[in-house]
Amino acid sequence: MILSASRRTDLPDHYADWFYDRIKEGFLYVRNPFRFHQVSKIRLSPAVIDCIVFWTKNPENMFPRLHELDPYDYCFQFTLTGYGQDIEPGIPHKRRHMIPVFCTLSDRIGSDRVIWRYDPILLNDIYTPAYHRRAFREIARSLNGRTRRVVISFVDLYAKTKRNMDALALQTPPQKTLLSLAADLAETAAANQMEIYSCAEEIDLQKAGIRHGSCIDKAYLEKIIGCRLDGARDKGQRKECNCLESVDIGSYNTCGSGCRYCYANFSVAKVNANRHAYDADSPLLCSALTGQDQISERALRSLKIRQRSLFDDFD
């Protein structure tokens, strides 16, 4: 099983202690995001968790207890953009704070286990293609040797979050402009020893030198854990997404970062109410069990293929 922690909220930034305490306890509960009273119990045994994929803009709060992850294979999807606090109000200064945090994480766990995400790319009168070229170039140079892979995507306007982004006056440039920008980013990535991939993009960026990638990439995870995996595409994601199947343990409307483009927060009021309910000792994130809840233990299995083939090469 691949544990996703989490597409729905920034667990490392806001709920690191909750996650570590669940690891120590050996299980957690997660609500079905579409059926509130349907609760799954997730066992956190290293015997069935093949890899933990963390999604974050700031993993700093995980550093003091990082050793508690030693029994597991894991990697970080680290989003680091050039936006200011007009777009990402809850994220510290990129040059002064976040780039050093990225480098510290890489130095501690290895450059092969930290993926840089420069996404989503949104365009307006402030964040122009020229701006993104400069920001991407500066960050890439700062992360040279600290990561081997960078993922990009252009912003998607989800119905639930479009209102949050109306004030940003986003522009939809012609595909020619996007391809030109993508080609320049690919050139910068290569110059800084990074492979560059797209994430769930409808636009074919291969002409720009960017491969169609997956956030939870089967081949990438196989190299991390040193073993082949027997898993299918995650049917719960968008049709453009090729991610390997995973179990997400987060909860929508709980992220405190306040990013204007976020698809996981639908309303500020819900976020505030859920964060007020946060209890690090609860097996549920930002929630408590009720008498109406129906709890069932989720059947989990390791995806590892134990028998090696002559064609395996993970060293």
What is the structure's pLDDT at 310?
46
In a domain, 311, yes or no: no
In a domain, 312, yes or no: no
What is the structure's pLDDT at 50?
96
SS3 53: strand
In a domain, 129, yes or no: yes
In a domain, 85, yes or no: yes
Provide the percentage of residues in the chain whose pLDDT is more than 70.
91
SS3 184: helix
In a domain, 245, yes or no: yes
Domain housing 16: 2-305
**Region 247-272: what's the mean pLDDT?**
93
Q: How many domains does the chain have?
A: 1
> What is the helix (H) or strand (E) element at residue 27, kind and residue range?
strand 27-32
Token pair, residue 290, equals 């009720």
Provide the percentage of residues in the chain whose pLDDT is more than 90.
75
Confidence check: pLDDT of 160 > 90? no
CA distance 72 to 69: 6
Cis peptide leading into 6, omega within 30 of 0?
yes
**Region 229-234: what's the mean pLDDT?**
81
Asked if 220 and 231 count as a contact pair (C-beta separation under 8 A), the reply is no
Distant-in-sequence, close-in-space partners of 202: CB < 8 Å, separation ≥ 6: 240
pLDDT tens digit string along 15-61?
Answer: 999 999 999 999 999 999 999 999 999 999 999 999 999 999 999 99
* Of the ranges 153-162, 169-178, 231-240, the best mean pLDDT one: 169-178
This prediction's pTM: 0.92
What is the structure's pLDDT at 167?
73
Among 67-71, 263-267, 304-308, where is mean pLDDT lowest?
304-308
Asked if 195 and 114 count as a contact pair (C-beta separation under 8 A), the reply is no
Confidence check: pLDDT of 241 > 80? no
> What is the helix (H) or strand (E) element at residue 271, kind and residue range?
helix 268-276
In a domain, 24, yes or no: yes
What sign does the dihedral 217-44-21-29 (CA atoms) show?
Answer: positive
In a domain, 168, yes or no: yes
Taking residue 197's Cβ as centre, other Cβ atoms within 10 Å add up to 24
pLDDT tens digit string along 192-223?
Answer: 999 999 886 677 888 888 988 888 899 999 99
